[in-house]
Amino acid sequence: MRKSSSRPSRSTLLNELSACQAANLLARRDISAVELVKSCLERVAGRDERVQAFTYIDADRAIEQAKSLDEGPIRGVLHGLPIGVKDLFDAAGCPASYGSSIYEGHRPMSDAVSVSMCRTAGALVLGKTVTTEFAYFSPGPTRNPHQLERTPGGSSSGSAAAVADFMVPLALGTQTAGSIIRPAAFCGVVGYKPSIGLVSRAGVKGISETLDTVGCFGRSVADVALLGSVLLGDTRLTATQGLGAPCIGLCRTSEWTLADADTQRAWAQACSSLSADAQALVDVHVPASLADLVLLQKAVMAFEMSRALHYERASRPEKLSRRLSLLLDEGQGISLETHIGDLQRTAAARRDAQDLFKTCDVLLAPSAIGEAPPAKDGTGDPVFCRAWTLLGLPCVHLPFSSGRDGLPVGLQLVGQWGQDHLLLAHAQWVFERLECSSVA
């Protein structure tokens, strides 16, 4: 029998619950999966015509699977939670266009590994979310839920917007340059990019063997830790409490001069808020060996995208945007010898990056230049994300402030490779204090 006292108050809509709140209620059978998925679908019906976060909604299947979950045992930690899946992932029975008209009508017959793992853990795929063209810069129709004339960022634009607008509590994304952290920053949600190589990319349209990383969005650190524990197969990720105060390295990065006044104010606010309770705040300077990583990331990405999209470029060049075509031309002009040298430099940089943590547990760094720019100006610059992606380090964006136009602004925490559980625990500690400072 359900305990009515455990249910959310009537003023709380089920679609507004965090993933962890909803998961706890579903596990206790205080709410049903059908109730939750219908609440999310109602939100989509009321808002997505304007936000345009989804390319496809699988409503009938989601409701049918929710009924099955309600009638059976608890399936896993994601039992009954609706999720959005970036349209770079294959999901059986759902269209997959990868943000391009080249693949119009394409319907994969199987799930990407990450999607399959989510379903096995009890998640319901509500639908496919918009991606930019092959996860590059040409935007889709998605708008920022906070101000519709602003960009939600890219390339995981639909996933970030859907979570921010309470259409789903969780969503999958990918990052090759800044495609999780930047849209999380622009939309004001938590974005988690795991350590590179820890989440299978099978069934995800690949554009860079060296850089592509599967990650996710939620509305709290605990939410992305919950989904991350499934993607990585590591239950340690959900132990986000009790680690204690971290030593935080303040890493403005080599690109700090590009940070606008809003990001600089958020930085000052964070330093002020964390100084009293952190074990220590220490300045971490990027050594000369890591100073040109943004250019290196761009070169590696161009070369590998020109190979990954060789079929599309050879068979349907007229279907590619001019901006993407120019990048593929650039990548085609890079020799294999040069690329091998770039990979060697990347490997050396990843080794040298370990020294950044000699005096601290995690690094605090900018996520974006500032607020989300107007949609007409594109999806924003991933300049503050490129180096961390090249280094393959785990990152978490924490939204806690706002800029001059009232749009979300935040910062990211960066951890050591393979120490995702520690990063998320430290992120929880930091986020609690940054949220308190924003309220105060």
Task: Tell me the pLDDT tens digit for each residue of 279-329.
Answer: 999 999 999 999 899 999 999 999 999 999 999 999 999 999 999 999 999
319 part of the active site: no
pLDDT digits (tens, 9 = 90+) for 318-330: 999 999 999 999 9
1 has a pLDDT exceeding 70: no
Query: What is the residue-wise DSSP string for 142-207?
Result: ---SSSTTB---SSSHHHHHHHHTTS-SEEEEEESSSTTHHHHHHHT-EEEEPPTTSS--TTB--S
3-state secondary structure of 437: helix
| 440 part of a folded domain | no
179 part of the active site: yes
Rounded distance between C-alpha atoms, residue 195 and residue 318, angstroms:
36
| 116 part of a folded domain | yes
155 part of the active site: yes
Q: How high does pLDDT run on average in the chain?
A: 96
Rounded distance between C-alpha atoms, residue 270 and residue 272, angstroms:
5
pLDDT value at position 241? 83
pLDDT value at position 11? 55
pLDDT digits (tens, 9 = 90+) for 59-98: 999 999 999 999 999 999 999 999 999 999 999 999 999 9
| 57 part of a folded domain | yes
151 has a pLDDT exceeding 90: yes
Rounded distance between C-alpha atoms, residue 265 and residue 229, angstroms:
33
**What percent of the chain has pLDDT above 90?**
95
218 has a pLDDT exceeding 70: yes
**Annotated catalytic residue, options 100, 155, 156, 220:** 155
Query: Which residue's entry shows tokens 């930047």?
Result: 182
| 366 part of a folded domain | no
Rounded distance between C-alpha atoms, residue 239 and residue 260, angstroms:
35
| 361 part of a folded domain | no
**What percent of the chain has pLDDT above 70?**
97
**Annotated catalytic residue, options 39, 97, 179, 273:** 179
pLDDT value at position 240? 84
Nearest CA-CA partner of 440 in 399, 389, 400: 400
Calculate the alpha carbon distances from 282 to 223, 273, 345, 398, 429 in Å.
29, 14, 27, 19, 17
pLDDT value at position 5? 45
Contacts of 378 (CB under 8 A, 6+ apart): 137, 139, 151
pLDDT digits (tens, 9 = 90+) for 352-396: 999 999 999 999 999 999 999 999 999 999 999 999 999 999 999
Whether the Cβ atoms of residue 266 and residue 396 lie closer than 8 Å to each other: no
**Annotated catalytic residue, options 86, 128, 193, 205:** 86
Range of the domain at 171: 15-238
pLDDT value at position 243? 86
| 429 part of a folded domain | no
| 102 part of a folded domain | yes
DSSP state for residue 357 in the 8-state scheme: G
Whether the Cβ atoms of residue 169 and residue 126 lie closer than 8 Å to each other: no
H helix runs in 9-58, sequence order: 19-27, 33-51
Query: Which residue's entry shows tokens 């839920």?
Result: 145
Rounded distance between C-alpha atoms, residue 7 and residue 13, angstroms:
11
Tally of structural domains, the chain? 1
Contacts of 418 (CB under 8 A, 6+ apart): 195, 198
pLDDT value at position 9? 62
What CATH number is given to the structural domain containing 171?
3.90.1300.10
pLDDT digits (tens, 9 = 90+) for 235-280: 999 998 878 999 999 999 999 999 999 999 999 999 999 999 999 9
| 425 part of a folded domain | no
6 has a pLDDT exceeding 90: no
